[in-house]
């Protein structure tokens, strides 16, 4: 029970601090940063909305609201899929890529300072394996 409670509180605090650092330095929410990262990792900087929701472990409606905010800020755009009238892509804009490029060092530094530097190499590997298993087990349960 102690391990579970430490995880719940620790993960909430970690997410809060990472969010706060991005918000203060770049006026960017952690959840929005994660969307920009996923788009930037694609060769064509685009993903189907449904695939994006699965990648960030969120609902389609929540991601749709995020994309609307990001679109309003000029960081992404929506385009219809030419081969599927029902499909919609989220596409990273040039401005979105610039914002991400400025925010990435802040986020990487925070992750390193607030988590990675606290763990030795073996603990980092264990943490990676544990959450890979959790993700594998729960990954298909999003709605």
Spatial separation of the C-alpha atoms in residues 94 and 47, rounded to whole Å: 16
In Å, the largest CA–CA distance within the chain is 52
DSSP state of 58: -
Q: Is it the case that residue 105 has pLDDT exceeding 50?
A: yes
Pairing, β 88-92 against β 46-48: antiparallel
Quick check: pTM over 0.85? yes
- Closest Cα partner for 52 from 71, 33, 38? 38
Percent of the chain at pLDDT > 90 equals: 82
pLDDT digits (tens, 9 = 90+) for 5-42: 999 999 999 999 999 999 999 999 999 999 999 999 99
Spatial separation of the C-alpha atoms in residues 51 and 87, rounded to whole Å: 11
Residue 71: Cβ within 10 Å count: 16
Spatial separation of the C-alpha atoms in residues 19 and 116, rounded to whole Å: 17
Q: Is it the case that residue 64 has pLDDT exceeding 80?
A: yes
pLDDT digits (tens, 9 = 90+) for 112-125: 999 999 999 999 99
Average pLDDT over residues 87-115: 97
* Angle at which helices 60-72 and 30-40 cross, to 10°: 90
């Amino acid at each position: 029970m102690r391990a579970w409670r430490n995880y719940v509180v620790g993960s909430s605090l970690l997410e809060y601090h990472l969010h706060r650092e991005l918000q203060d330095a770049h006026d960017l929410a952690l959840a929005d940063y994660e969307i920009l990262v996923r788009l930037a990792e694609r060769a064509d900087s685009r993903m189907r909305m449904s695939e994006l929701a699965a990648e960030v472990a969120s609902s389609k409606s929540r991601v749709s609201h995020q994309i609307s905010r990001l679109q309003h800020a000029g960081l992404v755009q929506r385009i219809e899929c030419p081969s599927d009238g029902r499909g919609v892509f989220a596409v990273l804009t040039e401005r979105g890529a610039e914002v991400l490029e400025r925010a990435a060092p802040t986020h990487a530094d925070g992750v390193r300072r607030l988590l990675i530097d606290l763990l030795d190499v073996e603990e980092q590997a264990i943490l990676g394996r544990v959450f890979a298993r959790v993700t594998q087990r729960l990954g298909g349960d999003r709605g």
